[in-house]
Amino acid sequence: MEKFYTTTAIDYVNGAPHIGHAYEKILTNVIFRHFKQRTDNAYMLTGVDEHGIKIQKTSKEMGIEPKAFCDMNAQKFKEAWELLDINYTKMIRTTDDYHKKSVQLIFKKLMEKGDIYKNSYKGLYCAGCEAFLAEKDLDEDGFCPVHKKKPEVVSEENYFFKLTKYKDAIINHIKQNPNFIIPSFRAKEVLNQLENIEDISVSRAKSNVSWGIDVLDDPTQVIYVWIDALSNYITALGYAPDKESEEFKKYWPADVQVIGKDILKFHSIYWPAILMALDLPLPKHILAHGWITIDETKMSKSLGNVVSPKSVMESFNLNEPDAFRYYMATAAPVGKDGNYSDDDFKEKVNAILANSMGNLLNRTLSMLVKYFDGNIKQEFIKHNSLFDGAKQTIEKVKHHFDYYEVAEAGQEIANLIDKTNKYVTDSAPWTLAKEEKMDETGHILYTVLEIMCVASSLIYPYCPNIASKMAHQLKYDITKKIDDIDFNNIKEGKLISKEEIEPVFLRLDSELAKDKKNK
Ligand code: MSP
């Protein structure tokens, strides 16, 4: 694999990040970290979406200049991703100068091409969606079905993008590339939407929306959020219509663009049309993930059930994000909705990370110290049929990631650990040691440790800190590429002393967490 480029949606900065935003960033980061194990040229872009009426209104209500308001909130997103060890390559802000300039030039190029034209318009605008809605999109009360608010009637002279010109080309692309939209069941939905598309408004009158990027040569209009926002995926790489940067040439088209199902229309219809108009190739895949609920309820400010990643970390007293990352990344099969609950979080990560994986390593190393003073003897080192299974796990994990099935790949890793635990229970090395069958005992321990090396590599994208602690105790190189994983990591000689053994993950103590939360 030569390169890998993945992106997330860019979040509106009118509030602080919640675990829905975090879900997407973690999912993308696990994908990114996995593909870093397959190529040296992997790139992850994330960012924040800062223009539009919503930001303009919220900052006004707070009595702050929009830019100062954005600075304050963009920082919260940055800090949240740091807390979650999201090691993105770049975080773009749509108020960045280079982005604004490129967007203006993109707009200009589309105007020159005749794909953008001016027209007067009367429509229903939902500030929540930052989009015009058709009557048929509204619920029976005439409200936006997503934001439960009545859209505003807006009558303006706007610029329009000739979406209809690209309709057939997009339909063909989706039909000819069944994996363009992942999961594929969403493609039908998009094809239905395509049946009724119209040209879209791509600017707003400055008299109504001032917080946006100016249209070049027309001071009465600002570029409407979606053309601004979607362009981030290429401007971040240094694209401008008059100059394609080296980075852009290297990374575009994106391998996978990760977004929520609510904004699939923008990414599978508007975005491809804009790219076609710019004569640029389309991304290889659009991954539309599901939504995260809290205790099976939709998160909303009015219900007061919005949970931030920071509050989860604090309430469970976590000093590293691995458990939360693991839980979120495996919260739902690809494209399906998932749920967060404190109890389920605790139960799941205790079961898998502490009891199953952490304990297995701890017990095995402790036995190695007890029976062999931490030494591996040459007699222990031989092939075990478990290695064949582990090889298959590596292939299965890779295959799942080829389709961005992050939770499914996580399940394969959990299965490998379960199988290895069963092997230890069934072969009972403690009994063999009592019977003084020391080579057999040693071989069992050796086998488990080899498998744990593989497991640490595979779990690394989900739990980088835990995996590093495992690798450290195994004297294993965690930076290994996935195709270099093999079974001669554990060498003859001293592996570990009693003092060097440390648990890689401590069980979450629910009572302690609840106490802290109540305070
Ligand atoms: N700014 C636009 C995206 C522009 S991309 C060129 C936007 N922002 S958002 O802040 O509303 O949402 C950002 C991302 O978070 C979207 O992909 C959205 O689906 C995701 N999520 C927001 N709430 C979510 C959940 N409760 N669960 C999972 N993801 C959700 O849309």
Q: Would you say the CB of residue 226 lies under 6 angstroms from ligand 1? A: no
Indicate the domain borders of the chain. Answer: 342-518
Q: Is 298 a catalytic residue?
A: yes
Position 514 scores a pLDDT of 52
**pLDDT single digits (tens) 62-107:** 999 999 999 999 999 999 999 999 999 999 999 999 999 999 999 9
**pLDDT single digits (tens) 320-375:** 999 999 999 999 999 999 999 999 999 999 999 999 999 999 999 999 999 999 99
**Residue 223, phi then psi, degrees to nearest 5:** -70, 130
**How far is residue 138 CA from its own chain's centroid?**
30
Q: How remote is the CA of residue 107 from the centroid of ligand 1, in Å? A: 24
Neighbours of 154 (CB within 10 A): 18
Q: Which residues pair with 297 in a beta bridge?
A: 294
Q: Is 126 a catalytic residue?
A: yes
Which of 144, 400, 463, 469 is catalytic? The answer is 144
Which of 70, 126, 453, 463 is catalytic? The answer is 126
Does residue 513 surpass a pLDDT of 50?
no
Q: Would you say the CB of residue 131 lies under 6 angstroms from ligand 1? A: no
The full DSSP string for 53-90 is HHHHHHHHHTT--HHHHHHHHHHHHHHHHHHTT---SE
Neighbours of 376 (CB within 10 A): 20
Helices 19-36 + 406-427 axis angle, to 10: 70
Q: Indicate the Cα dihedral angle 265, 270, 275, 279, nearest 10°.
A: 130
DSSP symbol at 269:
I
Question: What are the C-alpha distances in Å from 42 to residues 6, 81, 434, 511?
Answer: 8, 18, 50, 41
- Give the atom of ligand 1 at the shortest distance from the alpha carbon of 290: 28
CB 483 within 8 A of CB 448: no
Position 263 scores a pLDDT of 96
Which of 3, 76, 78, 147 is catalytic? The answer is 147
Position 423 scores a pLDDT of 98
Does residue 491 surpass a pLDDT of 70?
yes
**pLDDT single digits (tens) 236-265:** 999 999 988 999 999 999 999 999 999 999
Fold type of domain 342-518: Isoleucyl-tRNA Synthetase; Domain 1 (1.10.730)
- Which one-letter amino acid corresponds to residue 410? G
**pLDDT single digits (tens) 114-128:** 999 999 878 898 888
What is the average pLDDT across 43-67? 95
**pLDDT single digits (tens) 143-181:** 998 888 899 998 888 999 999 999 999 999 999 999 999
Position 122 scores a pLDDT of 85
DSSP symbol at 130:
T
pTM for this structure? 0.94
Q: How remote is the CA of residue 306 from the centroid of ligand 1, in Å? A: 14
Closest CA to 404 of 4, 20, 39, 2: 4
Does residue 483 surpass a pLDDT of 90?
yes
Return the beta strands (E) in 383-485 as ranges: none
Helix (H, G, I), strand (E, B) or coil at 242: coil
Closest CA to 439 of 380, 370, 368, 367: 380
- Which one-letter amino acid corresponds to residue 110? L
The per-residue pLDDT of the chain, averaged, comes to 95
Position 224 scores a pLDDT of 84
Does residue 132 surpass a pLDDT of 90?
no
Q: pLDDT category, 511, cuts 50, 70, 90?
A: low
Closest CA to 357 of 304, 407, 421, 299: 421
Position 515 scores a pLDDT of 54
Three state DSSP letters for 358-392: HHHHHHHHHHHHHHHCCEECHHHCCCCHHHHHHHH
Closest CA to 504 of 462, 450, 467, 479: 467
Q: Which residues pair with 152 in a beta bridge?
A: 125
Q: Please state which of the ranges 53-62, 222-231, 501-510 shows the lowest mean pLDDT.
A: 501-510
The residues near 336 (Cβ < 8 Å, ≥ 6 apart) are 183, 290
- Which one-letter amino acid corresponds to residue 307? V
